[in-house]
């Protein structure tokens, strides 16, 4: 379960923020580290139970983030492979979203639960949706306006309207308002907020990936349930950047 926003910034850069919502019974996640994923180096936090991840960036400047797909009324799929491997596999070979065939070749929809994968480079965004039996993918130029994606085990259609209303109230959608959006708590129903809480689950972390100069910086804030403040880890990758495209 996640809420993800993407803010376009000058010079073909972008800033992605991802809130992760997880079961209260699940072990606290590991802070981000530098990981060798196939042919590339990547930075990502990891889940100690599955070893997988839900958000990361590689040294070609490719960013991937994963949301569970929860159509209202559908039963969970019991599959042998964890969806946590989707992001590491997506970042292991590709260097732009134009290489989405390399991403699709690494994944098998019949072995994983439903998911939505968002992959971005400096110019384009690709969205890959797995319904548990096949992939549906699309690629388009990254819009200048901000993008928001959200999911919840309550049903994606249940939480999306409240969270999108909170998003649309923030103008202009700059870095300060992007951060405010990811701190939004719904006053009438704590399960509906971007910063959510309910009996069985809560927001456990916030990850920010920011491109400046020729570097990508990933900042990861873990919210320990009974701590007054979160714990932040910040790591930076040096990238090759040339005239609007990662090379």
pLDDT tens-digit map of 19-43: 999 999 889 999 999 999 888 899 9
Domain span at residue 241 reads 2-246
pLDDT tens-digit map of 147-205: 999 999 888 888 899 999 999 999 888 999 999 999 999 999 999 999 999 999 999 99
The enclosing H or E element of 153 equals none
pTM for this one? 0.90
Residue 30 sits in a domain whose CATH number is 3.60.60.10
Q: Reduce the DSSP state of residue 181 to 3 states and report it.
A: helix
Tell me how many domains the chain contains: 1
pLDDT band at 75 (very low <50, low <70, confident <90, very high): low
Measured distance CA(22)–CA(183) in Å, rounded: 16
DSSP-assigned states of every residue in 32-70: EEEEEETTEEEEEEE-TTTS--SEEEETTS-EEEEEE--
pLDDT band at 227 (very low <50, low <70, confident <90, very high): low
Measured distance CA(116)–CA(129) in Å, rounded: 4
pLDDT on residue 110: 80
> ω before 121 within 30° of 0 (cis)?
no
């Amino acid at each position: 379960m996640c809420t993800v926003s993407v803010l376009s910034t000058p010079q073909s850069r972008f800033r992605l923020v991802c809130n992760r919502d997880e079961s209260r019974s699940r072990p606290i996640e590991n802070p981000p580290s530098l990981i060798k994923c196939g042919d590339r180096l990547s930075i990502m936090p990891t889940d100690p139970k599955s070893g997988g991840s839900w958000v990361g960036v590689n040294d070609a400047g490719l960013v991937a983030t994963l949301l569970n797909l929860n159509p209202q009324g559908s039963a969970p799929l019991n599959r042998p492979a964890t969806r946590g491997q989707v992001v590491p596999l997506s970042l292991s070979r590709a260097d732009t979203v134009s290489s989405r065939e390399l991403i699709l070749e690494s994944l098998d929809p019949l072995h994983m639960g439903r998911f939505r994968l968002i992959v971005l480079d400096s110019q384009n965004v690709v969205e890959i949706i797995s319904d548990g039996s096949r992939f549906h993918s699309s690629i388009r130029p990254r819009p200048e306006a901000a993008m928001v994606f959200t999911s919840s085990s309550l049903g994606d259609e249940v939480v999306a309207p409240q969270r999108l209303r909170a998003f649309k109230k923030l103008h202009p959608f700059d870095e300060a308002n992007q951060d405010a959006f990811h701190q939004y708590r719904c006053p009438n129903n704590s399960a509906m907020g971007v910063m959510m809480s309910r009996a069985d689950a809560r927001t456990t972390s916030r990850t920010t990936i920011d491109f400046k100069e020729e570097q990508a910086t990933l900042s990861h804030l873990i919210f320990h349930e009974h701590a007054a403040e979160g714990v932040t880890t910040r790591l930076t990758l040096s990238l090759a950047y040339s005239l609007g495209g990662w090379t």
